[in-house]
Amino acid sequence: MDSHTLAAQTAETPHLELGHPPFLRHHFENVAQQREAATFGMWLFLLTEIMFFGGLFCAYLIFRNWYYPAFVAGSHSLHIWAGTLNTTLLIISSFTMAMAVHAAETRNRKPLLRWMILTIILGCGFLCVKAYEWHDEWVEHHVPGLNFSPVGFEHGTKAYPDDKLAPDMAEKTQVYFSLYFAMTGMHALHMIIGISLLIFLLIRARGGAYTAGHIAPIENFGLYWHFVDIVWIFLFPLLYLISRHQ
Amino acid sequence: MAPSHSSDAPHHQHLHIEPSEPTHHEEHIVSPKVYMVIGACLLVLTASTTAISYVDLGSFNAVVALAIACIKMSLVVLFFMHIKYSSRLTMLTVAAGFFTFLVLITMTMTDYISRAWGRW
């Protein structure tokens, strides 16, 4: 037993004397009830998140219908390889997070730490690719409000020479890029919050906090991480794929 | 209710007391094999959605891409997020949330497409 666990147990001795594990809060009857309540609460939070991103998706669908040629041209300017690479990174990171939950459930400290570190690395990899794409959009003058120029969309691009929009429709590519930056930006913010939480959990997991039966924080963080993955699973086709042939 | 019936109640309850009634579902640990199979399925679906986007299907490109995204979401929710193995309360919470979300989207879209009805 390492010093961390020992220190934690000394501080929680009154709980042990009461005949229940130290992580059981006194307003719950048993560990199963506490875990069920935590899962229920986490899902309620995730449902508010679904409504939040759902509003953005809804706005995207309506504006895409409204300024269709501008949205198609805007979508053509994204790199499909970057979107595919990022989807792959996030799916693998969801897998490593699921394995981290499994390691916590089977009380294996070392594998838990390993899977958490892998998840952090994959999450950072996703953000690096995203940063590369945003930099590319900055260079191309595709950032509304900061350095936007519709000129490129009036003359067609190398990959899509037929993308010649009328000046008023070329202006409307700003709506596409506003929604693009709002949605990928909010998603990236969720990733940054997720990675920060994961680092915090990793530090606590080193002391064995989640491999002695108390797995709710790891499990609920897993739910959050998978939710962020699901948001990207929908962002990827909507932003990158569906307008390719239009 | 007639008072004569109430005297039966304690007797009735007494008959149905069980020594250890499980109030919560059994702990279920999903095996790494399941995670691996689901992860592989998700990667295959990602590869196919990207590949299909290179084929010109007209307006069906969007339908196919979103259908694949829905399948991927279901796999993540059911297996990675353990809903397949969760309690009824959790399942009902998730189902109710998605249903409410669909209602909101449908109502918004219905309003949007019918605003200029007949003036196309």
* Residue in chain B nearest A225 by alpha carbon: B81
What letters, b where the CB count within 10 A reaches 16 and e where it falls short, cover B79-89? Answer: bbbbbebbbee
Residue B4, pLDDT score = 46
Q: What percent of chain B has pLDDT over 70?
A: 77
A10 is a domain residue: no
B54 is a domain residue: yes
B11 is a domain residue: no
Residue A1, pLDDT score = 47
A6 is a domain residue: no
Query: What is the arithmetic mean of pLDDT over A37-59?
Result: 95
The pLDDT tens digits for A172-196 are 999 999 999 999 999 999 999 999 9
A19 is a domain residue: no
Q: Which residues of A touch B58 (CB under 8 A)?
A: 245
A52 is a domain residue: yes
Residue A18, pLDDT score = 63
* Residue in chain B nearest A242 by alpha carbon: B62
For residue A205, is pLDDT > 50? yes
Residue B59, pLDDT score = 85
For residue A50, is pLDDT > 70? yes
Handedness of CA A224, A225, A231, A233 (dihedral sign): negative
Contact A245, A99 (CB under 8 A): no
Query: What is the arithmetic mean of pLDDT over A204-233?
Result: 94
Cα–Cα distance measured from residue B32 to residue B28, given in angstroms and rounded to the nearest whole number: 13
A40 is a domain residue: yes
Q: Which domain covers residue A216, as residue numbers?
A: 35-241
Residue A72, pLDDT score = 94
Distances (CA, A) of B49 to A13, A61, A89, B52: 55, 19, 16, 5
The pLDDT tens digits for B28-58 are 789 999 999 999 999 999 999 999 999 999 8
Tell me the nearest-neighbour CA distance from A235 into chain B, angstroms: 9
Contact B66 A242 (CB under 8 A): yes
Domain count, chain B: 1
B75 is a domain residue: yes
A27 is a domain residue: no
Contact B66 A237 (CB under 8 A): yes
Query: Does A18 contact B at CB distance below 8 Å?
Result: no
* Residue in chain B nearest A53 by alpha carbon: B101
Q: Which domain covers residue B70, as residue numbers?
A: 29-110
B80 is a domain residue: yes
Q: Which residues of B touch A106 (CB under 8 A)?
A: 29
Contact A209, A106 (CB under 8 A): no
The pLDDT tens digits for B61-79 are 999 999 999 999 999 999 9
Q: Residue A212: CB partners within 8 Å, gap ≥ 6? A: A5, A21, A107
The pLDDT tens digits for A108-123 are 999 999 999 999 999 9
Domain count, chain A: 1
CATH number of A48's domain: 1.20.120.80
A156 is a domain residue: yes
A25 is a domain residue: no
What letters, b where the CB count within 10 A reaches 16 and e where it falls short, cover A92-105? Answer: bbbbbbbbbbbbbb
